[in-house]
Amino acid sequence: MQRVITTEKIPLMLWLDQLEDEALAQAINLANLPWAFHHVAIMADAHVGYGMPIGGVLATTGAVIPNGVGVDIGCGMRAVRTGLSEVEPARLKKILGDLRATIPLGFKHHSEPRPVELLPDPGALERDLPVVAGEFDSARRQIGTLGGGNHFVEIQQGSDHRIWLMVHSGSRNLGYKVAGFYNNLATKLAKAGGRNVVPKEWQLAALQLGSAAGQQYLREMEYCVAFARANRSEMMARVQEIVADHTGCGEFEEALDVAHNYAALETHFSHQVWVHRKGATRAFAGEFGIIPGSQGSQSYIVRGLGEVQSFMSCSHGAGRVMGRKEAQLVLNLQEEIGKLNARHVLHSIRNRSDLEEAPGAYKDIFEVIKNQRDLIEVVVELQPLAVLKG
């Protein structure tokens, strides 16, 4: 831990030296929520988000906060260790070509609905999951699609002398619609009931856990978490098939899959609380996690140390040091391409618009890892070889 702020209703514990002013203001808002429990934890990769900083961990009692989970519900990482020790660049290029032709990227979806069996069982869809029900047909076209932004498929060289495959993606438009619906509902209910106990501009409207709306949000959120996991699984299956076709590899170990946008009921400091992890990875003692770097920098397979002060959490990545538009305006295209070429990474930066995902837009992953050595231990360091982005 780097800093503790004790000026608010409950303490703020930070695992980074400097936090941008807007993100710090958001963290202070969290610490003054009536439902906030014990303290607020801010991870080493934190930066500004909607309502709550990305890289924030908030425990609550009596209420759940949709913007404490975020719009990409269940977003996370999936990693698979292969039996390969190396893949030459010419073969990597062919693999990337086939991946682009197979996995829909950005806003693209499958042209035809995918089999229902690929999606989590929705149960009594109309009754229990009304927003999911309205989006279910669209979700069948989105299962196995990457999305845009910081989502990626990456082939990596591990410090264990093995090739690793990694996918970063979430619940696509399904999670976005669920998040938006329930944040708007929470805002309307607070206004209608005269319960505007937090300023609207904080963007932290809550749903009471004892209410029908609160319970419905939890069901829909949990379905989105399961959908996001299934989405990554479907993409990883395609990645493994393509890698096997090009390399003859027949050994793929069991996948490691972790989410970093969700709320879960857990016990901390002898109380049952709802832990909101928004851009944060669970790090219970002995539990494996994945911390990706930026495009072109190392990623890490880590093992949690179960640190209670972080609510047994760690960072979800490197974290942005500048916004997407700022990166496009400020960063030098040729310099960023040069950084990746110097590391012999097959990358996805071609135009100025791609600079939003350039290495220069992100924090130093080495510093991020160093600042959370009390939360995790590094198991495998992964060097990027080839990157596919949306």
Active-site annotation, residues: 316
Neighbours of 9 (CB within 10 A): 12
The residue ranges of DSSP E strands in the chain, in sequence order, are: 3-5, 12-14, 36-47, 54-60, 63-64, 76-81, 152-158, 163-169, 207-208, 256-259, 261-268, 271-278, 280-282, 288-291, 299-304, 313-315, 376-389
Please enumerate in sequence order all residues whose Cβ is within 8 A of that of 121, keeping only pairs 6 or more positions apart, or say none: none
Contact, 343 vs 25, CB < 8 A? no
Contact, 240 vs 55, CB < 8 A? no
Q: How far is CA 3 from the centre of its chain?
A: 24
Pairwise CA distance, residues 165 & 256, whole Å: 11
Structure tokens belonging to residue 267: 């016990």
Closest CA to 313 of 287, 276, 284: 284
Contact, 383 vs 157, CB < 8 A? yes
Pairwise CA distance, residues 90 & 87, whole Å: 8
Contact, 83 vs 249, CB < 8 A? yes
Pairwise CA distance, residues 122 & 108, whole Å: 24
Cα end-to-end distance, the chain, whole Å: 34
Per the DSSP assignment, residues forming a β-bridge with 266 are 273
Per the DSSP assignment, residues forming a β-bridge with 288 are 303
DSSP reduced 3-state for 264: strand
DSSP reduced 3-state for 317: coil
